[in-house]
Structure 1
Amino acid sequence: MRHSKTYNFFSEFSQITFGIVLASIGLKAFLLPNGFLDGGVTGMALLVNNLFGINISLSLIIFSLPFLVLGYYTVSKRIVIKSILSILGFASLIHFGDYGTITDDNLLISIFGGLCLGAGIGIAIRNGSVLDGSEILGIYLNDKFGLSIGKVILMFNIILFSITAMVVSLEVALYSILTYIVTAKVTDLTIEGFEDFIGVTIVSNDYAKIKNAIMMELGVGLTTYKGSKGFGSTGAQQDFDIIHTIINRIDIKKMHRIIEDIDENAFIVEFDVNNVKGGVLRHYLDKKKGKTLGRI
Protein backbone atom coordinates (compact mmCIF):
# COMPACT_ATOMS: atom_id res chain seq x y z
CA MET A 1 0.00 0.00 0.00
CA ARG A 2 2.82 2.39 0.92
CA HIS A 3 4.60 1.55 -2.32
CA SER A 4 1.42 2.28 -4.28
CA LYS A 5 0.93 5.66 -2.59
CA THR A 6 4.57 6.60 -3.23
CA TYR A 7 4.25 5.59 -6.88
CA ASN A 8 1.03 7.59 -7.29
CA PHE A 9 2.64 10.61 -5.64
CA PHE A 10 5.63 10.63 -7.97
CA SER A 11 3.45 9.80 -10.98
CA GLU A 12 1.13 12.74 -10.30
CA PHE A 13 3.89 15.27 -9.80
CA SER A 14 5.88 13.96 -12.77
CA GLN A 15 2.87 14.44 -15.02
CA ILE A 16 2.10 17.85 -13.53
CA THR A 17 5.71 18.88 -14.16
CA PHE A 18 5.43 17.74 -17.76
CA GLY A 19 2.18 19.72 -18.10
CA ILE A 20 3.85 22.84 -16.70
CA VAL A 21 6.71 22.50 -19.21
CA LEU A 22 4.26 22.12 -22.11
CA ALA A 23 2.22 25.14 -20.99
CA SER A 24 5.35 27.27 -20.58
CA ILE A 25 6.49 26.32 -24.10
CA GLY A 26 3.11 27.44 -25.44
CA LEU A 27 3.55 30.81 -23.77
CA LYS A 28 7.27 31.48 -24.19
CA ALA A 29 7.81 30.01 -27.65
CA PHE A 30 4.53 31.07 -29.28
CA LEU A 31 2.22 33.55 -27.55
CA LEU A 32 4.52 35.85 -25.60
CA PRO A 33 7.03 36.76 -28.37
CA ASN A 34 4.14 37.72 -30.65
CA GLY A 35 1.92 39.58 -28.18
CA PHE A 36 -0.95 37.06 -28.24
CA LEU A 37 -3.16 36.33 -25.25
CA ASP A 38 -4.92 33.31 -23.81
CA GLY A 39 -8.02 33.25 -21.65
CA GLY A 40 -8.30 33.23 -17.86
CA VAL A 41 -5.66 34.34 -15.39
CA THR A 42 -2.86 33.64 -17.87
CA GLY A 43 -4.51 36.00 -20.35
CA MET A 44 -4.81 38.69 -17.66
CA ALA A 45 -1.09 38.40 -16.90
CA LEU A 46 -0.23 38.61 -20.60
CA LEU A 47 -2.49 41.66 -21.09
CA VAL A 48 -0.94 43.50 -18.12
CA ASN A 49 2.53 42.70 -19.48
CA ASN A 50 1.48 43.95 -22.93
CA LEU A 51 0.11 47.22 -21.55
CA PHE A 52 2.40 48.05 -18.65
CA GLY A 53 5.43 45.77 -19.05
CA ILE A 54 4.87 44.17 -15.63
CA ASN A 55 6.58 40.81 -15.23
CA ILE A 56 4.26 38.01 -16.34
CA SER A 57 5.40 35.58 -13.64
CA LEU A 58 4.71 38.12 -10.90
CA SER A 59 1.30 39.02 -12.38
CA LEU A 60 0.37 35.35 -12.71
CA ILE A 61 1.07 34.70 -9.02
CA ILE A 62 -0.71 37.87 -7.83
CA PHE A 63 -3.80 37.30 -10.00
CA SER A 64 -3.95 33.65 -8.92
CA LEU A 65 -4.05 34.43 -5.19
CA PRO A 66 -7.77 35.39 -4.97
CA PHE A 67 -8.74 32.27 -6.92
CA LEU A 68 -6.62 30.07 -4.65
CA VAL A 69 -8.34 31.60 -1.61
CA LEU A 70 -11.69 30.77 -3.24
CA GLY A 71 -10.38 27.29 -3.98
CA TYR A 72 -9.62 26.79 -0.29
CA TYR A 73 -13.36 27.02 0.41
CA THR A 74 -14.72 25.36 -2.74
CA VAL A 75 -12.33 22.47 -3.48
CA SER A 76 -10.09 20.25 -1.37
CA LYS A 77 -7.01 21.56 0.42
CA ARG A 78 -4.93 18.94 -1.41
CA ILE A 79 -5.89 20.45 -4.78
CA VAL A 80 -5.12 23.97 -3.53
CA ILE A 81 -1.68 22.92 -2.26
CA LYS A 82 -0.84 21.19 -5.54
CA SER A 83 -2.15 24.19 -7.47
CA ILE A 84 0.04 26.59 -5.47
CA LEU A 85 3.13 24.50 -6.25
CA SER A 86 2.08 24.19 -9.90
CA ILE A 87 1.50 27.92 -10.35
CA LEU A 88 4.84 28.71 -8.71
CA GLY A 89 6.56 26.22 -10.99
CA PHE A 90 4.72 27.61 -14.02
CA ALA A 91 5.67 31.18 -13.11
CA SER A 92 9.31 30.14 -12.61
CA LEU A 93 9.53 28.48 -16.02
CA ILE A 94 7.94 31.51 -17.67
CA HIS A 95 10.53 33.75 -16.00
CA PHE A 96 13.64 31.63 -16.49
CA GLY A 97 12.73 29.45 -19.48
CA ASP A 98 14.14 30.31 -22.89
CA TYR A 99 12.72 28.36 -25.82
CA GLY A 100 13.33 30.86 -28.58
CA THR A 101 10.71 31.99 -31.11
CA ILE A 102 9.55 29.07 -33.22
CA THR A 103 7.42 30.92 -35.79
CA ASP A 104 6.14 34.37 -36.72
CA ASP A 105 3.07 33.08 -38.56
CA ASN A 106 -0.01 34.28 -36.68
CA LEU A 107 -2.15 31.26 -37.51
CA LEU A 108 0.55 28.78 -36.45
CA ILE A 109 1.09 30.76 -33.24
CA SER A 110 -2.60 30.55 -32.35
CA ILE A 111 -2.93 26.85 -33.16
CA PHE A 112 0.30 25.43 -31.75
CA GLY A 113 0.53 27.87 -28.86
CA GLY A 114 -3.01 26.90 -27.86
CA LEU A 115 -2.21 23.23 -28.38
CA CYS A 116 0.81 23.26 -26.04
CA LEU A 117 -0.96 25.42 -23.47
CA GLY A 118 -4.16 23.34 -23.55
CA ALA A 119 -2.30 20.04 -23.27
CA GLY A 120 -0.29 21.35 -20.32
CA ILE A 121 -3.35 22.66 -18.48
CA GLY A 122 -5.25 19.45 -19.19
CA ILE A 123 -2.47 17.21 -17.88
CA ALA A 124 -2.25 19.30 -14.70
CA ILE A 125 -6.03 19.15 -14.15
CA ARG A 126 -6.08 15.36 -14.71
CA ASN A 127 -3.64 15.08 -11.84
CA GLY A 128 -5.55 17.31 -9.44
CA SER A 129 -3.91 20.66 -10.01
CA VAL A 130 -4.82 23.99 -11.61
CA LEU A 131 -2.62 26.32 -13.64
CA ASP A 132 -5.41 28.82 -14.29
CA GLY A 133 -7.70 29.94 -11.47
CA SER A 134 -10.69 31.01 -13.59
CA GLU A 135 -12.15 27.50 -13.26
CA ILE A 136 -12.18 27.94 -9.47
CA LEU A 137 -14.12 31.18 -9.90
CA GLY A 138 -16.68 29.26 -11.97
CA ILE A 139 -17.02 26.61 -9.26
CA TYR A 140 -17.50 29.26 -6.56
CA LEU A 141 -20.19 31.20 -8.44
CA ASN A 142 -21.92 27.96 -9.36
CA ASP A 143 -22.11 26.95 -5.69
CA LYS A 144 -23.11 30.45 -4.55
CA PHE A 145 -25.60 31.53 -7.21
CA GLY A 146 -26.24 28.45 -9.35
CA LEU A 147 -24.55 29.97 -12.41
CA SER A 148 -23.16 27.60 -15.03
CA ILE A 149 -19.39 27.12 -14.69
CA GLY A 150 -18.97 27.22 -18.45
CA LYS A 151 -20.92 30.47 -18.73
CA VAL A 152 -18.91 32.09 -15.94
CA ILE A 153 -15.61 31.26 -17.66
CA LEU A 154 -17.04 32.38 -21.01
CA MET A 155 -18.16 35.75 -19.60
CA PHE A 156 -14.78 36.17 -17.87
CA ASN A 157 -13.00 35.72 -21.19
CA ILE A 158 -15.47 37.86 -23.18
CA ILE A 159 -14.61 40.77 -20.86
CA LEU A 160 -10.89 40.02 -21.17
CA PHE A 161 -10.90 39.84 -24.98
CA SER A 162 -13.14 42.93 -25.25
CA ILE A 163 -10.59 44.93 -23.25
CA THR A 164 -7.85 43.51 -25.49
CA ALA A 165 -9.70 44.66 -28.60
CA MET A 166 -10.10 48.18 -27.19
CA VAL A 167 -6.65 48.81 -25.73
CA VAL A 168 -4.39 46.64 -27.89
CA SER A 169 -5.91 45.83 -31.27
CA LEU A 170 -8.85 43.98 -32.77
CA GLU A 171 -6.52 41.68 -34.69
CA VAL A 172 -4.68 40.59 -31.54
CA ALA A 173 -8.04 40.02 -29.82
CA LEU A 174 -9.30 37.84 -32.69
CA TYR A 175 -6.14 35.74 -32.78
CA SER A 176 -6.26 35.48 -28.99
CA ILE A 177 -9.84 34.18 -29.20
CA LEU A 178 -8.66 31.55 -31.69
CA THR A 179 -5.85 30.61 -29.29
CA TYR A 180 -8.34 30.32 -26.44
CA ILE A 181 -10.67 28.08 -28.49
CA VAL A 182 -7.78 25.75 -29.36
CA THR A 183 -6.58 25.76 -25.75
CA ALA A 184 -10.04 24.97 -24.37
CA LYS A 185 -10.65 22.15 -26.84
CA VAL A 186 -7.26 20.53 -26.28
CA THR A 187 -7.71 20.86 -22.51
CA ASP A 188 -11.04 19.00 -22.75
CA LEU A 189 -9.52 16.29 -24.95
CA THR A 190 -6.60 15.85 -22.57
CA ILE A 191 -8.89 15.58 -19.54
CA GLU A 192 -11.58 13.36 -21.08
CA GLY A 193 -9.45 11.38 -23.55
CA PHE A 194 -9.52 11.18 -27.31
CA GLU A 195 -11.96 8.30 -27.52
CA ASP A 196 -15.60 9.28 -27.75
CA PHE A 197 -17.90 6.80 -26.03
CA ILE A 198 -21.64 6.46 -26.14
CA GLY A 199 -23.97 4.48 -23.89
CA VAL A 200 -26.75 2.41 -25.43
CA THR A 201 -29.82 0.86 -23.80
CA ILE A 202 -31.80 -1.62 -25.93
CA VAL A 203 -35.30 -2.96 -25.28
CA SER A 204 -36.44 -5.78 -27.57
CA ASN A 205 -38.31 -9.08 -27.49
CA ASP A 206 -35.32 -10.59 -29.30
CA TYR A 207 -32.91 -9.53 -26.56
CA ALA A 208 -31.06 -12.86 -26.53
CA LYS A 209 -30.20 -12.68 -30.24
CA ILE A 210 -29.23 -9.00 -30.02
CA LYS A 211 -27.06 -9.64 -26.96
CA ASN A 212 -25.14 -12.43 -28.68
CA ALA A 213 -24.78 -10.46 -31.93
CA ILE A 214 -23.35 -7.41 -30.12
CA MET A 215 -20.78 -9.52 -28.27
CA MET A 216 -19.80 -11.54 -31.35
CA GLU A 217 -19.77 -8.79 -34.00
CA LEU A 218 -18.72 -5.71 -31.99
CA GLY A 219 -16.68 -7.52 -29.35
CA VAL A 220 -17.75 -5.33 -26.43
CA GLY A 221 -18.98 -6.21 -22.98
CA LEU A 222 -22.53 -5.55 -21.90
CA THR A 223 -24.82 -5.72 -18.91
CA THR A 224 -28.37 -7.07 -18.85
CA TYR A 225 -30.98 -6.37 -16.21
CA LYS A 226 -34.53 -7.59 -15.77
CA GLY A 227 -37.44 -5.52 -16.97
CA SER A 228 -41.13 -5.90 -17.71
CA LYS A 229 -43.42 -4.26 -20.19
CA GLY A 230 -47.11 -4.09 -20.93
CA PHE A 231 -48.12 -1.21 -18.66
CA GLY A 232 -49.58 0.74 -21.60
CA SER A 233 -52.71 0.09 -23.67
CA THR A 234 -52.11 -3.68 -23.99
CA GLY A 235 -52.12 -4.34 -20.26
CA ALA A 236 -50.32 -7.67 -20.78
CA GLN A 237 -47.12 -7.78 -18.76
CA GLN A 238 -44.07 -9.58 -20.10
CA ASP A 239 -40.66 -10.09 -18.49
CA PHE A 240 -37.51 -9.67 -20.57
CA ASP A 241 -33.87 -8.57 -20.38
CA ILE A 242 -32.83 -4.95 -20.99
CA ILE A 243 -29.43 -4.63 -22.64
CA HIS A 244 -26.99 -1.92 -21.60
CA THR A 245 -23.60 -1.40 -23.22
CA ILE A 246 -20.99 1.28 -23.95
CA ILE A 247 -19.25 1.50 -27.31
CA ASN A 248 -16.99 3.84 -29.22
CA ARG A 249 -19.10 6.32 -31.19
CA ILE A 250 -17.46 5.18 -34.39
CA ASP A 251 -19.25 1.81 -34.01
CA ILE A 252 -22.75 3.19 -33.49
CA LYS A 253 -23.89 2.77 -37.12
CA LYS A 254 -22.71 -0.83 -37.11
CA MET A 255 -24.68 -1.43 -33.91
CA HIS A 256 -27.79 0.03 -35.53
CA ARG A 257 -27.42 -2.39 -38.45
CA ILE A 258 -26.94 -5.34 -36.09
CA ILE A 259 -30.09 -4.49 -34.13
CA GLU A 260 -32.22 -3.71 -37.22
CA ASP A 261 -31.30 -7.05 -38.81
CA ILE A 262 -32.74 -8.80 -35.75
CA ASP A 263 -35.56 -6.49 -34.63
CA GLU A 264 -36.31 -3.33 -36.58
CA ASN A 265 -38.81 -2.26 -33.92
CA ALA A 266 -36.34 -2.41 -31.04
CA PHE A 267 -36.43 0.55 -28.65
CA ILE A 268 -32.96 2.15 -28.43
CA VAL A 269 -31.80 4.92 -26.07
CA GLU A 270 -28.39 6.55 -26.65
CA PHE A 271 -26.55 8.90 -24.30
CA ASP A 272 -23.13 10.54 -24.09
CA VAL A 273 -20.53 9.06 -21.73
CA ASN A 274 -17.88 11.44 -20.35
CA ASN A 275 -15.69 8.90 -18.62
CA VAL A 276 -15.26 5.13 -18.53
CA LYS A 277 -13.19 3.17 -16.03
CA GLY A 278 -12.74 -0.55 -15.49
CA GLY A 279 -14.77 -3.36 -17.00
CA VAL A 280 -14.01 -5.00 -20.32
CA LEU A 281 -14.89 -2.09 -22.58
CA ARG A 282 -11.49 -2.00 -24.25
CA HIS A 283 -11.20 -5.77 -24.58
CA TYR A 284 -12.34 -6.79 -28.05
CA LEU A 285 -13.67 -10.17 -29.00
CA ASP A 286 -11.58 -12.64 -30.97
CA LYS A 287 -14.19 -13.61 -33.55
CA LYS A 288 -12.23 -16.62 -34.79
CA LYS A 289 -11.98 -18.20 -31.37
CA GLY A 290 -15.48 -17.15 -30.34
CA LYS A 291 -14.26 -15.97 -26.98
CA THR A 292 -17.08 -14.75 -24.72
CA LEU A 293 -16.75 -11.44 -22.93
CA GLY A 294 -17.96 -10.67 -19.46
CA ARG A 295 -20.13 -7.80 -18.34
CA ILE A 296 -19.16 -4.12 -18.21
Structure 2
Amino acid sequence: MKHKELKGSYLHDVCQRFSHHKLAVFAVIFLLIEILLVLLLPSLMHLNPYQLDVMAFGAAPMPGHMLGTDDVGRDMFSRLVYGGRVSLTVGICSAIISLLVGVPLGLAAGYFRGPVETVVMRCSDVFMSFPSMILILVLASVLGQSLTTITIVIGILGWPEFARLIYASTLSIREKEYVQSATAIGTKTGTILSRYILPNASAPVIIAFTFRTAQAIITESSLSFLGLGVQPPTASWGNILYYAQSISVLANKLWMWLPAGILLILTVLCINFLGDGIRDALDMKMSI
Protein backbone atom coordinates (compact mmCIF):
# COMPACT_ATOMS: atom_id res chain seq x y z
CA MET A 1 0.00 0.00 0.00
CA LYS A 2 2.82 2.36 0.87
CA HIS A 3 4.52 1.60 -2.46
CA LYS A 4 1.32 2.47 -4.34
CA GLU A 5 0.96 5.71 -2.40
CA LEU A 6 4.54 6.71 -3.23
CA LYS A 7 4.00 5.83 -6.88
CA GLY A 8 0.77 7.83 -6.96
CA SER A 9 2.46 10.79 -5.31
CA TYR A 10 5.31 10.68 -7.85
CA LEU A 11 2.91 10.56 -10.81
CA HIS A 12 0.93 13.42 -9.30
CA ASP A 13 4.10 15.49 -8.95
CA VAL A 14 5.11 14.69 -12.54
CA CYS A 15 1.70 15.73 -13.88
CA GLN A 16 1.77 18.91 -11.81
CA ARG A 17 5.22 19.86 -13.07
CA PHE A 18 4.13 19.10 -16.63
CA SER A 19 1.04 21.28 -16.27
CA HIS A 20 3.28 24.23 -15.38
CA HIS A 21 5.10 23.91 -18.71
CA LYS A 22 2.80 26.09 -20.83
CA LEU A 23 4.40 25.26 -24.18
CA ALA A 24 4.11 21.53 -23.47
CA VAL A 25 0.45 21.86 -22.51
CA PHE A 26 -0.21 23.84 -25.68
CA ALA A 27 1.65 21.16 -27.65
CA VAL A 28 -0.51 18.38 -26.19
CA ILE A 29 -3.72 20.25 -27.05
CA PHE A 30 -2.51 21.06 -30.58
CA LEU A 31 -1.36 17.49 -31.29
CA LEU A 32 -4.55 15.94 -29.93
CA ILE A 33 -6.69 18.25 -32.07
CA GLU A 34 -4.51 17.57 -35.10
CA ILE A 35 -4.71 13.79 -34.66
CA LEU A 36 -8.47 13.90 -34.20
CA LEU A 37 -8.88 16.05 -37.32
CA VAL A 38 -6.76 13.87 -39.60
CA LEU A 39 -8.60 10.78 -38.34
CA LEU A 40 -12.17 12.10 -38.39
CA LEU A 41 -12.38 14.75 -41.12
CA PRO A 42 -12.05 12.34 -44.08
CA SER A 43 -15.20 10.51 -42.97
CA LEU A 44 -17.13 13.55 -41.75
CA MET A 45 -16.42 15.67 -44.84
CA HIS A 46 -16.19 12.80 -47.37
CA LEU A 47 -12.73 13.92 -48.47
CA ASN A 48 -11.10 12.28 -51.46
CA PRO A 49 -7.43 13.19 -52.11
CA TYR A 50 -7.42 11.38 -55.47
CA GLN A 51 -10.52 12.86 -57.13
CA LEU A 52 -9.74 15.13 -60.08
CA ASP A 53 -11.60 18.32 -60.90
CA VAL A 54 -11.01 18.74 -64.63
CA MET A 55 -12.43 22.26 -64.47
CA ALA A 56 -9.90 23.44 -61.86
CA PHE A 57 -6.26 22.73 -62.64
CA GLY A 58 -4.03 24.64 -60.21
CA ALA A 59 -7.01 26.72 -59.09
CA ALA A 60 -6.76 29.23 -56.24
CA PRO A 61 -8.92 28.76 -53.11
CA MET A 62 -12.61 28.98 -53.99
CA PRO A 63 -15.96 27.50 -52.94
CA GLY A 64 -15.67 23.73 -53.09
CA HIS A 65 -11.89 23.87 -52.80
CA MET A 66 -11.08 25.89 -49.68
CA LEU A 67 -7.33 25.50 -50.22
CA GLY A 68 -7.45 25.37 -54.00
CA THR A 69 -6.30 22.49 -56.19
CA ASP A 70 -2.98 21.15 -57.40
CA ASP A 71 -1.77 21.10 -60.99
CA VAL A 72 -3.91 18.06 -61.88
CA GLY A 73 -7.07 19.25 -60.14
CA ARG A 74 -6.87 17.39 -56.81
CA ASP A 75 -8.31 19.17 -53.78
CA MET A 76 -5.44 20.49 -51.66
CA PHE A 77 -7.41 20.46 -48.39
CA SER A 78 -8.15 16.75 -48.83
CA ARG A 79 -4.52 16.04 -49.61
CA LEU A 80 -3.39 18.13 -46.64
CA VAL A 81 -5.56 16.11 -44.24
CA TYR A 82 -4.58 12.74 -45.69
CA GLY A 83 -0.96 13.90 -45.88
CA GLY A 84 -1.05 14.67 -42.17
CA ARG A 85 -2.33 11.18 -41.48
CA VAL A 86 0.51 9.65 -43.50
CA SER A 87 3.27 11.85 -42.05
CA LEU A 88 2.15 11.30 -38.46
CA THR A 89 1.83 7.56 -39.07
CA VAL A 90 5.36 7.37 -40.46
CA GLY A 91 6.74 9.42 -37.56
CA ILE A 92 5.03 7.53 -34.76
CA CYS A 93 5.36 4.02 -36.22
CA SER A 94 9.02 4.41 -37.14
CA ALA A 95 9.79 5.73 -33.65
CA ILE A 96 8.00 2.68 -32.18
CA ILE A 97 10.12 0.39 -34.38
CA SER A 98 13.30 2.13 -33.21
CA LEU A 99 12.13 1.75 -29.61
CA LEU A 100 11.25 -1.94 -29.95
CA VAL A 101 14.62 -2.74 -31.53
CA GLY A 102 16.86 -0.47 -29.48
CA VAL A 103 15.55 -0.96 -25.94
CA PRO A 104 15.95 -4.79 -25.73
CA LEU A 105 19.41 -4.57 -27.31
CA GLY A 106 20.49 -1.80 -24.95
CA LEU A 107 19.13 -3.67 -21.94
CA ALA A 108 20.97 -6.85 -22.92
CA ALA A 109 24.23 -5.00 -23.58
CA GLY A 110 24.14 -3.13 -20.26
CA TYR A 111 23.05 -6.02 -18.09
CA PHE A 112 24.97 -8.98 -19.52
CA ARG A 113 28.08 -7.04 -20.58
CA GLY A 114 30.85 -9.12 -22.18
CA PRO A 115 30.38 -10.35 -25.76
CA VAL A 116 26.77 -9.13 -25.89
CA GLU A 117 27.87 -5.60 -25.00
CA THR A 118 30.65 -5.69 -27.58
CA VAL A 119 28.41 -6.89 -30.42
CA VAL A 120 25.52 -4.51 -29.71
CA MET A 121 27.66 -1.42 -29.15
CA ARG A 122 29.85 -2.05 -32.19
CA CYS A 123 26.77 -2.58 -34.34
CA SER A 124 25.38 0.73 -33.10
CA ASP A 125 28.71 2.37 -33.95
CA VAL A 126 28.47 1.00 -37.49
CA PHE A 127 24.89 2.22 -37.92
CA MET A 128 25.76 5.68 -36.58
CA SER A 129 28.89 5.99 -38.73
CA PHE A 130 26.88 6.16 -41.97
CA PRO A 131 25.13 9.41 -42.98
CA SER A 132 21.54 8.45 -42.18
CA MET A 133 19.90 10.34 -45.05
CA ILE A 134 22.19 8.79 -47.66
CA LEU A 135 21.66 5.32 -46.22
CA ILE A 136 17.89 5.80 -46.17
CA LEU A 137 17.98 7.00 -49.79
CA VAL A 138 19.93 3.90 -50.85
CA LEU A 139 17.71 1.47 -48.93
CA ALA A 140 14.51 3.14 -50.13
CA SER A 141 15.73 2.95 -53.72
CA VAL A 142 16.66 -0.73 -53.39
CA LEU A 143 13.68 -1.92 -51.35
CA GLY A 144 11.06 0.32 -52.93
CA GLN A 145 9.44 3.61 -51.95
CA SER A 146 6.19 2.42 -50.41
CA LEU A 147 4.82 3.85 -47.17
CA THR A 148 5.59 0.62 -45.31
CA THR A 149 9.16 0.45 -46.59
CA ILE A 150 9.92 4.07 -45.71
CA THR A 151 8.51 3.57 -42.20
CA ILE A 152 10.50 0.39 -41.55
CA VAL A 153 13.76 1.79 -42.94
CA ILE A 154 13.54 4.98 -40.86
CA GLY A 155 12.61 2.92 -37.82
CA ILE A 156 15.41 0.38 -38.16
CA LEU A 157 18.05 3.07 -38.64
CA GLY A 158 16.94 4.87 -35.45
CA TRP A 159 17.54 2.05 -32.96
CA PRO A 160 21.12 3.03 -31.87
CA GLU A 161 19.83 6.16 -30.11
CA PHE A 162 17.52 4.13 -27.87
CA ALA A 163 20.04 1.35 -27.37
CA ARG A 164 22.72 3.75 -26.14
CA LEU A 165 20.37 5.56 -23.79
CA ILE A 166 19.06 2.40 -22.15
CA TYR A 167 22.55 0.89 -22.12
CA ALA A 168 23.99 3.82 -20.16
CA SER A 169 21.12 3.75 -17.66
CA THR A 170 21.33 -0.02 -17.24
CA LEU A 171 25.05 0.11 -16.45
CA SER A 172 24.28 2.38 -13.51
CA ILE A 173 21.11 0.67 -12.27
CA ARG A 174 22.53 -2.88 -12.34
CA GLU A 175 24.95 -1.84 -9.57
CA LYS A 176 22.17 -0.66 -7.25
CA GLU A 177 21.63 -2.61 -4.04
CA TYR A 178 18.06 -3.65 -4.86
CA VAL A 179 19.18 -5.20 -8.17
CA GLN A 180 22.08 -7.02 -6.53
CA SER A 181 19.77 -8.24 -3.77
CA ALA A 182 17.29 -9.56 -6.31
CA THR A 183 20.12 -11.34 -8.13
CA ALA A 184 21.42 -12.83 -4.88
CA ILE A 185 18.08 -14.41 -3.95
CA GLY A 186 17.80 -16.02 -7.39
CA THR A 187 15.27 -13.74 -9.08
CA LYS A 188 14.93 -14.57 -12.77
CA THR A 189 16.79 -12.34 -15.20
CA GLY A 190 13.61 -11.44 -17.08
CA THR A 191 11.97 -10.31 -13.84
CA ILE A 192 14.97 -8.19 -12.87
CA LEU A 193 15.03 -6.51 -16.28
CA SER A 194 11.29 -5.90 -16.46
CA ARG A 195 10.57 -4.95 -12.84
CA TYR A 196 13.72 -3.30 -11.56
CA ILE A 197 15.86 -2.03 -14.42
CA LEU A 198 13.52 -1.04 -17.26
CA PRO A 199 11.09 1.09 -15.16
CA ASN A 200 14.00 3.00 -13.62
CA ALA A 201 15.74 3.48 -16.98
CA SER A 202 12.67 4.49 -18.98
CA ALA A 203 12.65 8.28 -18.41
CA PRO A 204 15.33 9.19 -21.00
CA VAL A 205 13.79 6.70 -23.44
CA ILE A 206 10.37 8.35 -23.19
CA ILE A 207 11.92 11.74 -23.87
CA ALA A 208 13.96 10.37 -26.77
CA PHE A 209 10.81 8.82 -28.26
CA THR A 210 9.19 12.23 -28.72
CA PHE A 211 12.27 13.72 -30.36
CA ARG A 212 12.69 10.63 -32.55
CA THR A 213 9.10 10.99 -33.75
CA ALA A 214 9.76 14.59 -34.78
CA GLN A 215 12.99 13.58 -36.49
CA ALA A 216 11.25 10.78 -38.38
CA ILE A 217 8.55 13.16 -39.65
CA ILE A 218 11.25 15.53 -40.92
CA THR A 219 13.13 12.64 -42.53
CA GLU A 220 10.03 11.38 -44.34
CA SER A 221 9.19 14.89 -45.49
CA SER A 222 12.74 15.42 -46.74
CA LEU A 223 12.65 12.16 -48.69
CA SER A 224 9.25 12.96 -50.18
CA PHE A 225 10.37 16.50 -51.04
CA LEU A 226 13.25 14.94 -53.00
CA GLY A 227 10.81 12.58 -54.71
CA LEU A 228 12.23 9.48 -53.00
CA GLY A 229 9.81 9.09 -50.12
CA VAL A 230 6.08 8.35 -50.12
CA GLN A 231 5.10 8.28 -53.79
CA PRO A 232 2.12 10.02 -55.39
CA PRO A 233 -0.80 9.67 -55.61
CA THR A 234 -0.47 8.94 -51.87
CA ALA A 235 -0.32 12.30 -50.12
CA SER A 236 2.15 13.30 -47.43
CA TRP A 237 3.24 16.71 -46.27
CA GLY A 238 6.62 16.03 -47.85
CA ASN A 239 5.37 15.33 -51.36
CA ILE A 240 2.94 18.25 -51.09
CA LEU A 241 5.99 20.42 -50.45
CA TYR A 242 7.50 18.91 -53.61
CA TYR A 243 5.51 21.53 -55.53
CA ALA A 244 7.62 24.25 -53.89
CA GLN A 245 10.55 23.21 -56.11
CA SER A 246 9.02 25.23 -58.90
CA ILE A 247 9.77 28.96 -58.72
CA SER A 248 6.40 29.85 -60.23
CA VAL A 249 4.54 27.75 -57.67
CA LEU A 250 6.75 28.97 -54.84
CA ALA A 251 6.01 32.59 -55.64
CA ASN A 252 2.51 32.58 -57.14
CA LYS A 253 0.66 29.49 -55.86
CA LEU A 254 1.18 29.54 -52.12
CA TRP A 255 -1.89 27.38 -51.46
CA MET A 256 -0.12 24.38 -53.01
CA TRP A 257 2.66 24.20 -50.42
CA LEU A 258 2.39 26.81 -47.64
CA PRO A 259 -0.33 25.10 -45.51
CA ALA A 260 1.63 21.82 -45.52
CA GLY A 261 4.82 23.68 -44.61
CA ILE A 262 3.15 25.52 -41.74
CA LEU A 263 1.59 22.33 -40.36
CA LEU A 264 4.86 20.45 -40.65
CA ILE A 265 6.73 23.15 -38.72
CA LEU A 266 4.03 23.45 -36.04
CA THR A 267 3.80 19.68 -35.60
CA VAL A 268 7.54 19.19 -35.21
CA LEU A 269 7.77 22.16 -32.84
CA CYS A 270 4.90 20.83 -30.71
CA ILE A 271 6.43 17.35 -30.51
CA ASN A 272 9.70 18.94 -29.38
CA PHE A 273 7.84 21.09 -26.83
CA LEU A 274 6.16 17.93 -25.57
CA GLY A 275 9.55 16.27 -25.15
CA ASP A 276 10.86 19.30 -23.28
CA GLY A 277 7.83 19.24 -21.00
CA ILE A 278 8.23 15.54 -20.23
CA ARG A 279 11.95 16.02 -19.56
CA ASP A 280 11.28 18.86 -17.12
CA ALA A 281 8.43 17.00 -15.45
CA LEU A 282 10.57 13.92 -14.83
CA ASP A 283 13.42 16.02 -13.42
CA MET A 284 13.11 15.63 -9.67
CA LYS A 285 15.34 18.67 -9.12
CA MET A 286 12.68 21.01 -10.50
CA SER A 287 10.45 22.71 -8.00
CA ILE A 288 6.70 22.64 -8.31
Please give the TM-score of this superposition, normalised by the length of structure 1: 0.25
Higher normalized strand content (fraction of residues): 1
For the pair shown, the structure with the greater C-alpha radius of gyration is: 1
Please give the TM-score of this superposition, normalised by the length of structure 2: 0.26
Higher normalized helix content (fraction of residues): 2
